[in-house]
Amino acid sequence: MTGNYPVTDPLGTPYGRVMAERTVVISGGGTGIGLAAARSFARTGDRTVLVGRRAEVLRRAAAGIDGAVACPADLTEPSGARAVADFVAREFGTVDVLINNAGGNGLLEPPPEEQVRADPLARTAHDWTVNFRLNTLTAVLLTEALHERLASPGGRVLFLSSIAAYRGSGSGSYGASKAALHPYAHDLARRLGPRGITVNVVAPGLIDDTEFFAGRMTEERRRARVAETLNGRAGTPGDVAETLHWLSSPAADHITSQVLQVNGGAERGH
């Protein structure tokens, strides 16, 4: 596919130019929001690089998306982020859009050792360290590894935060690890702004059809979360994906250092 498509402003008026095929790097691109984002960008002709730890999951996802390639890597380690940067440099050269979506609640991590489980402080240290590595460090390492390859001007950097960054997550560690992305994004926007690169954060609320919520929420709790919204429904991966896609378009060229909430109004006013 050529990847060319007409660009319009929010009112539908053509900008008078055509965007060439872009390279979009998506961490956590094999499932949920990351996979929905990859499909959204593919529909407008962009090629996507799907990054994550589970090679087979990534390969299955990439096989179903035109122009997608899998790049397995553990982004909690500098070597993993460096491997992605080397792959992108070798295959594509420039990154037009970087979406830092990898993260989670530690369900894929090895369980703590028995002595850690037996010690309340050791359990706390383990929980906070795991969440920081999964949700904060992955985004920072990948961004720092790729920042010199971001298209200038026109590059986009996006971070996936959470409603928990505003209201907590029950344990503290997950919400705090997502909230840590906000000041980093603001500092990064200041650093990259002179190059014509925007940096923004998207903070979803309850999103159905993702591994994060699968099997972890009772129907009663889900109903309560949906009742908090103003439109009476849970979000979908597509809701978030289309927000990411729009923030990556020329229509959002003057939006940077912002946190956009996608939660049906369950949390608002920040």
pLDDT exceeds cutoff 60 at 80: yes
- pLDDT above 80: residue 210: no
* Nearest partner of 17 among 151, 152, 154, judged by Cα: 154
Contacts 24+ apart (CB under 8 A), 85-91: 85/145, 85/146, 85/149, 87/49, 88/23, 88/25, 88/49, 88/146, 88/149, 89/149
Q: How far apart are CA 48 and CA 126, in angstroms?
A: 34
pTM as predicted: 0.89
Active site residues: 174
- pLDDT at residue 233 greater than cutoff 50: yes
- Residue 66, classed as helix, strand or coil, is coil
Q: Is 268 within 8 Å of 261 (Cβ atoms)?
A: yes
Structure tokens at 245: 């896609």
38: closest CA among 61, 14, 7, 15? 61
Digit-coded pLDDT (tens) for 18-65: 456 999 999 999 999 999 999 999 999 999 999 999 999 999 999 999
Helix (H, G, I), strand (E, B) or coil at 203: strand
Q: Between 107 and 172, name the one with better pLDDT.
A: 172
Nearest Cα residue to 101 out of 170, 154, 162: 162
Domains of the chain: 5-262 (3.40.50.720)
Helix 138-146 and helix 181-192, axial crossing angle in degrees, nearest 10: 10
Whether the link from the prior residue into 153 is cis, omega within 30° of 0, is yes
- Looking at the predicted structure, is the pLDDT value of residue 4 above 60? no
CB 30 within 8 A of CB 58: yes
pLDDT of residue 179: 97
For residue 235, the 8-state DSSP code is B
Token pair of 156, please?
């986009």
Report CA-CA distances (Å) from 72 to 57, 62, 84, 216, 263. 9, 11, 8, 26, 30
Residue 136 DSSP class: I
